[in-house]
Amino acid sequence: MKEKLYSIKARASFKGKHLSGAERIVRESEIETVLEEIYKKVRRKNPDSINIKVENIEEKPLIVDKTLRLKNFSFSNHIEANEKAVEILHIETGISKNILWKLIEEVHTGAAPDKENMRGAMIVNQKGERIELDRYRGIRTTTVDFLDRKKVLKKLLKNGYTERTLDALALTTKNLIYPDMIAEYCISDEPDYTVGYVSTKNFYYRFSPLKEKGNTKGGRIYFVKNSIDIQKFYNFLQKKPVLIRDVNI
Ligand code: PML
């Protein structure tokens, strides 16, 4: 890749409260077009403030051939879906089902200490302990995108997926590359978006529905090994540029 790469990050808020965000990794020649796209996207919810940052990426990106493999599960309600999610997470992490249910309940009711949504993900080790450094902020995975985002989006939309699937797949594929990351659980904080997922080293299990319609709470749990070096983990998820070629459907 000869042309310089840039990270574009946008955040929109209203009265200090986060409304929406977007992130891309682009070539220099694409910056202007993508800035316009991103601006249009994040202003949809009528924010009073939009913050857009463009930064040169110095580090060589890690190129990944494919995302995790998509697998769909459909349930008649979110409780049944969560039972299956807990089963998968129990097998993958070894954490007891009781503890898993408690952690999932926290995400569905607001996992920050003030019972609001956390800004990033919580991190849980194999003992079932929350080990993120800040329970309000959690950890945010950034600096990941597709080499040809438009092509991949088209493919996903044609197969009945959404742009949220695209972003979630990129993010969780980066997460699961990290050797000490075991699995992830996610529901959206968008009240009408009830599809969620559990991802493991090989699969992106997409659950419909994983949360109750109308619930404004959501978030992510990153399940990691007990032996993890938390600073190195933060550093990889926040700083290492990752570009993905294609989806695995
Ligand atoms: C999917 O459509 O595959 C699930 C995406 C979850 C998105 C979570 C979010 O956008 O907050």
Q: Which tokens go with 209? A: 């529905």
**pLDDT reported for residue 1:** 53
What lines the ligand 1 site, CB under 6 Å? 162, 164-165, 168, 186, 188-189, 195-197, 206, 218
For ligand 1, atom 9, name the residue with the nearest CA: 188
Q: How far apart are CA 117 and CA 176, in angstroms?
A: 23
pTM for this structure?
Answer: 0.95
Residue with tokens 């009073």: 48
Cα 2 to ligand 1 centroid, rounded to whole Å: 33
Query: Which of ligand 1's atoms lies nearest the C-alpha of 218?
Result: 11
Closest ligand 1 atom to Cα of 169: 3
Distance CA 53, CA 188 (A): 24
pLDDT digits (tens, 9 = 90+) for 13-68: 999 888 889 999 999 999 999 999 999 999 988 999 999 999 999 999 999 999 99
Tens digit of each residue's pLDDT (9 = 90 or more) over 215-224: 999 999 999 9
**Residues linked to residue 10 through DSSP beta bridges, in sequence order:** 22, 52
Instruction: pLDDT band for 79, please (50, 70, 90 cuts).
Output: very high
Q: Render pLDDT for 221-244 as a digit per residue (tens, 0 to 9).
A: 999 999 999 999 999 999 999 999
C-alpha 109/C-alpha 92 separation (Å) is 24
pLDDT digits (tens, 9 = 90+) for 81-134: 999 999 999 999 999 999 999 999 999 999 999 999 999 999 999 999 999 999
The 10s digit of each residue's pLDDT in 138-163 is 999 999 999 999 999 999 999 999 99
Q: Where are the domains of the chain?
A: 5-56, 65-248
Ligand 1 atom closest to the CA of 161, numbered from 1: 2
Closest CA to 132 of 149, 148, 151, 119: 119
